[in-house]
């Protein structure tokens, strides 16, 4: 799998900031997302396990200078070594190459800012999943076989 860009943004749930982890490829297509109450090594590792399970092992990952993301990717590389793989995920920690996902976060922020806060983590996860799927349809990530965006959304949500 080619390069992936991973980052997190903040969303308020019950008046507290939670973390929306997101992964996109270098073309801007959304690969995976996960809402977490914490921004630590455990949460980052859980997100990487989920994203890799759904999309396969990447060759290279671009992240910001977050220590939790670095630790999570270190755990993934340790897993590769323990399984006997001879290659590792290349990790690039740079702020400038992360701009593609920072711009993609704007869409989420634009829709969630008027909501101010979610009542529960479960409702926030469900709402954000719907927003992400709608955004993925708008970006043309799904088969456009003569279906409207609503029909595609209904098929995916059902």
Instruction: Provide DSSP, 4-59.
Output: EEEEEEEEEETTEEEEEEEEEETT--EEEEEEES--SHHHHHHHHHHHHHHH---S
pLDDT at 104: 64
Residue 69 has pLDDT above 90, yes or no: no
Q: Is the pLDDT of residue 109 over 60?
A: yes
What pLDDT is attached to residue 158? 53
117 pLDDT tier (thresholds 50, 70, 90): confident
Judged against a pLDDT cut of 80, whether residue 145 lies above it is answered with: no
The reported pLDDT for the residue numbered 42 is 93
Beta strands 90-93 and 60-63, pairing class: parallel
Cβ-in-10-Å burial (0-12, 13-18, 19+) of 81 comes to exposed
User: Is residue 106 over pLDDT 80?
Assistant: no
pTM of the model: 0.73
The pLDDT of residue 156: 60
Position 74 scores a pLDDT of 92
Is 78 buried (19+), middle (13-18) or exposed (0-12) by CB count in 10 A?
A: exposed
Domain regions of the chain by residue span: 4-157
Q: How confident is the model at residue 148 (pLDDT cuts 50, 70, 90)?
A: low
| Beta strands per DSSP E along 49-119 | 60-63, 90-93
Q: How far apart are CA 11 and CA 57, in angstroms?
A: 28
User: Rounded to 10 degrees, what is the CA torsion of 125, 80, 1, 29?
Assistant: 20
pLDDT at 102 over 80: no
State the average pLDDT over residues 28-32. Answer: 83
Select from 53, 99, 98, 101 the least CA-distant residue to 79: 53
Neighbour tally for 152: CB within 10 Å: 19
Give 46's pLDDT tier (boundaries 50, 70, 90). Answer: very high
For residue 55, CA distances in Å to 17, 99, 111 come to 28, 22, 26
pLDDT digits (tens, 9 = 90+) for 74-91: 999 898 899 888 788 888
Q: What is the chain's mean pLDDT, rounded?
A: 79
Q: Which residues contact 135 (CB under 8 A, 6 or more apart)?
A: 30, 107, 108
User: 4-157 domain in CATH 3.20.20.70?
Assistant: no
């Amino acid at each position: 799998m080619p390069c992936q860009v991973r980052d997190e943004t903040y969303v308020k749930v019950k008046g507290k900031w939670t973390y929306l982890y997101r992964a996109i490829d270098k073309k801007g297509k959304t690969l995976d997302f996960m809402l977490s109450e914490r921004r630590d090594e455990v949460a980052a590792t859980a997100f990487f396990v989920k994203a890799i399970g759904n999309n396969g092992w990447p060759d290279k990952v671009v992240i910001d200078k977050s220590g939790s993301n670095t630790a999570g990717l270190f755990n993934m590389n340790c897993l590769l070594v323990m399984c006997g793989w001879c290659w590792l995920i290349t990790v690039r920690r740079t702020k400038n190459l992360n701009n593609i996902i920072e711009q993609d976060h704007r869409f989420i922020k634009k829709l969630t800012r008027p909501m101010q806060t979610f009542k529960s983590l479960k409702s926030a996860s469900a709402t954000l999943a719907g927003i992400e799927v709608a955004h993925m349809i708008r970006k043309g990530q799904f088969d456009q076989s003569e279906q409207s965006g609503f029909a595609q959304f209904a098929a995916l949500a059902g």
